[in-house]
Amino acid sequence: MNDTLNNLSPLDGRYREKTQKSRANFSEYALIKARLIAEIEWLSYFLTNFKPELKDTETNSKIDELLKAIPDSLIARVKEIEETTNHDVKAVELALAEEFKHSEKVQSVIHIFLTSEDINSLSYALMLKQAHGSLLGWIEQVIEELELLAQKNKDLAMMSRTHGQPASPTTLGKEINVFLTRIKKEYASLLKSKFYAKWGGATANYNPHLLAFPGEDWVSHSKVFLKHLDIELTVVATQIEPHDYMAELFQNIQRFNTIILDLNRDIWTYISLDYFSLKMSKDEVGSSTMPHKVNPIDFENAEGNIGLANAIFSHLSEKLPVSRLQRDLSDSTVLRNIGTAYGYVEIAINSTLKGLNKLEADKKVISNDLEERYELLTEALQSFLRLEGKKDGYDQVKHLSRGKKMDKEMYLKAVEELIESDEYKKILIGLTPSKYIGLAAKLAEIK
C-alpha cells in the first residue's frame, strides 16, 4: 500500500506530487539544513575574524565541504541527538561539533555568542528567501498565461455584467487584463521583499560579545556577516527577530492570492455562461452519474486551496509580530506552518495554470449574447440627450428601457423619436453593441 495514504495532511498525501517545491523549501529536512548552514557560516566568519589561528587546513576543508553539500547523514544525526536533548537547535550544535573532532578548540567556538533564535531567525530568512524565488517563478507563469489570453481576445467584444445583470459592452481581453495589471502590481511589490535576521545573542544586546572583544563594532560585524548571505540585520530586537517583515510578506502574498481567487471565480462564471469551453481529456471523468459533464475543477481546486493558504497567512501575519516581553515560545510552532501555507499556494497556482491552459473562448456564444442586446446602448442614448440639453434625458430613456430587452428596431425608433441633432442621430444609428466598447481594446494592452 502507498505510504502516503496514511499521511495526515493532503499536502504530503493526495497532493504530494504537487507540493514538491514547498517541501524542498520548508520541510523538517530543509529547516535542519538551514540551521546547519547558519552555524557553519558563523563558525567560518568567527574563526576568520577572531580566531584565525584555529582555521587550519583541515578545518577549512571541513567547512568548505559542508557548505558545498550538507550530507543526509548529518541531518539524520541531528534528529538522533534531538531525541536526547529535546532541543532542536542544541542538537544541530552537537551534531556539527562531531564533524570537527580533530580540534576541541574549534568545537568550543561552534555556536559562540549565539542564542537559538539567532540561528532560527537566519534559518527561516534563508528558507523564505529560497521559497520567494519559487513563488516569483509561479507568478511569472500566471502573468505569461494571462498576457497571452488578454492579447488573443483584446478585440473580442463581450457583454459585461454588473450586479449579475447585462451592462455596457467591454472586451474579453480587457477584463482579463484587469486581473493581469493587479497581479503585476503585487508582483512588483514582492520583488522588493527583503529578509531579516537578528544576530546579537540572548536579548540582542551583544552582552558577551562586548565583554570578550570590547573594541569591536558588533553591529557592523553582524551586518557584514548577514549581508554575505543576502539577509538584512534587524539591529534593534529582543531575543527574537520581530517578524514584521514576515507579516508584510505574507500580507502581500494574501493580496496576490485574493486576486487569483477573484480571477478563478470570474473564469468559473464565464465557463458557466459558455463564454469559455474547456479542452477535454478523453480519460477524465466529469461526473460519476452524468457522462456529458466537463467541470471547471481546476479553478474550483484553486479556490479551495487559496482559502486555506490565506487563512494560514492571516494567522501568521497577526500572530508572529506579537511576543511577550523579550520572547515567548508560541511563535516556534507557528513558524513551522509557514510551509503549509506555501504548499496550498503552490497547489492553487498550479491548478490555476492548468485551468487556464484548457480555456478556449467561444466567440460565437459571446458575440450572439451581445449582438441582440440593444438596451446596452441606452447609456449612449441618454448621454447624447444630455448633450442636447435635455435635463430629463436619462428619465426618458429609463421609461423606455428599464427592465426590458430592446432589439435593434426598438432602439432605432427611440433614436429617431428622442434625438434632434442629425449629427448625433448618425452616430447612434450606426452604433451596434459590438462597436460600443470604448477604449476596451486598447485597455486590454495596458501593461
Segment 98-153, tens digit of pLDDT: 999 999 999 999 999 999 999 999 999 999 999 999 999 999 999 999 999 999 99
Task: Write the DSSP string, 281-296.
Answer: -TT--S-SS-TT----
- CATH 1.20.200.10 domain locations along the chain: 117-363
Residue 393: its pLDDT value, please? 85
Average pLDDT, the chain: 94
In the three-class reduction of DSSP (H, G, I as helix; E, B as strand; rest coil), residue 196 is classed as strand
Q: Which of 272, 287, 330, 421 is catalytic?
A: 287
Question: Tens digits of per-residue pLDDT, 141-167?
Answer: 999 999 999 999 999 999 999 999 999
CATH class of 117-363: mainly alpha
Q: Retrieve residue 437's grid coordinates.
A: 466598447
Residue 311 has pLDDT above 50, yes or no: yes
- CATH 1.10.40.30 domain locations along the chain: 372-443
Residue 404 has pLDDT above 90, yes or no: no
Sign, CA dihedral 345-350-356-359, equals negative
Give the chain's end-to-end CA distance (angstroms, integer).
Answer: 51
- CATH 1.10.275.10 domain locations along the chain: 19-114
Check if 383 is active-site: no
Residue 63 has pLDDT above 70, yes or no: yes
Q: Identify the CATH number of the domain defined by range 372-443.
A: 1.10.40.30
Residue 282: its pLDDT value, please? 58
Residue among 183, 352, 360, 145 nearest 270 (CA): 360
* Region 176-203 average pLDDT: 97
Residue 290 has pLDDT above 70, yes or no: no
Q: Retrieve residue 83's grid coordinates.
A: 531525541
Whole-structure pTM value:
0.93
Residue 1 has pLDDT above 70, yes or no: no
Check if 163 is active-site: yes
Q: Which CATH architecture has domain 19-114?
A: Orthogonal Bundle (1.10)
Question: Tens digits of per-residue pLDDT, 198-216?
Answer: 999 999 999 999 999 999 9
Q: Which of 163, 281, 288, 292 is catalytic?
A: 163
C-alpha angle 443/171/427, rounded to 5°?
90
Establish how many alpha carbons lie within 13 A of residue 379's alpha carbon, considering only the half-sphere containing its beta carbon: 11
C-alpha angle 337/341/345, rounded to 5°?
160
Alpha helices per DSSP H over 192-296: 207-212, 218-227, 244-272
Residues 271, 287: contact at Cβ < 8 Å?
no
The residue type of 108 is: S
Q: Read off φ and ψ for residue 285, nearest 5 degrees.
A: -115, 125
CA–chain centroid gap for 10, Å, is: 20
Question: Tens digits of per-residue pLDDT, 3-49?
Answer: 778 888 989 889 999 999 999 999 999 999 999 999 999 999 999 99
Pairing, β 157-162 against β 165-171: antiparallel
